[in-house]
Every structure is written in C-alpha cells, then in structure tokens.
Amino acid sequence: MESFIIFFCVFVAVFIIKGVYENKHGAKEKQIRDEKLKNYNLSVRDEFYDSTIGVDEDKRLIVFVEPNKVPILISFDEIIDFEILKDSETISKVSAKGVIVGGVLAGGLGAIIGSQVGKKSKDKVGSLDLIIRVDKIQNATIKINFYEKKQYIPTLKVATETMDKWQGIMKVIMERNNN
C-alpha cells in the first residue's frame, strides 16, 4: 500500500510539473507571436496550434506567423487563387478570375465535414488545409494547416468553423481584387 501511495504522489508531481512547464512554454510562444504581430493592425485573428493567421486591412495583408519562423506576409494583390483541402483532396477552389470549383461554397465546409459524423474512424477527416497561391517566385504556395487529426487541438468542429470563416475572407479578398 505504501508503494502505491509513493507511486501516486510521484505521478501527481510529474503531472503538475509537466503542466507548469507547458503553461510557461505556451505563454512564451504566445509572447513571441505577439511580438512578431505588433506592427500589424489585425481586424481578424485566429490562433491554432502555435500559429496565428490574421488580416491587416489597412496594409492589405494576410499575416501568418508560425513558431521559430519569419512571418509570412501575403499581399491581397498577389493572391492568384486559394483552395481548401480535406485529407489532401481539393474540396473548394477560387481563382483570381472568379472560377469556383467544388460544392463546398453552397453548403459550407461544415456540410462536407458533417457528413463524416458516424462513419468508421478510417473514413473521418484527417486534415484540413488552406492553400494560397501568390504571384511570387519564392514562396509561391503557402499551406496553412487548420486541423490535423493527430493533434487534438483544435477540435474538428472548431477547425471547420475557422475554415468556413477563412473561406469567406478569401472570397472577399478575391472579389475586391477583381473590382
């Protein structure tokens, strides 16, 4: 019985230390992200995993910040097209010429993802990505991962809602570029 109590106390201590470390690490990562974003007036901002994506409408930029990387700045004027991938397959694509491919735009991404509920786990969504292509030689394609099944935050529901929002934002940007 004594060994069980000792084991339990050690387990609890390790769990607490791990939590304190992760909170400090997470706070430090957030501070670094915030420092990288201080020069931008983001009217829209979403955080997931250790990354942040936002829109600075005054500077006409999408700003994407990942840990230990230089922020990616995407000028509205440089965007050629964007697409949404579910498990590496295109489910929606909009080009600068306004061509729309895929059925997602009518019912929203939630309709596609919602159809996965109740299916066998092997059939469920493994990843959701936003691909933005820009008119640049370097970094011509930017891939932003909103959901990865292997990582449990955010939930699929939250990731789907965020992807729906960004699909709308990207459509507005593309429409403004065409006017």
Six token digits for residue 136: 């640049």
Cα–Cα distances (Å) from 98 to 47, 133, 149, 174, 176, in that order, read 28, 14, 31, 8, 11
- In tens digits, the chain (179 residues) has pLDDT values of 676 577 555 555 554 554 444 444 457 766 776 777 888 999 999 988 778 999 999 999 999 988 888 889 999 999 999 999 999 999 888 887 765 555 444 445 554 444 443 444 445 888 899 999 999 888 899 999 988 887 766 788 888 999 999 999 999 998 888 87
Q: How far apart are CA 147 and CA 15, in angstroms?
A: 26
Q: Among 104, 109, 94, which Cα is nearest to 177's?
A: 94
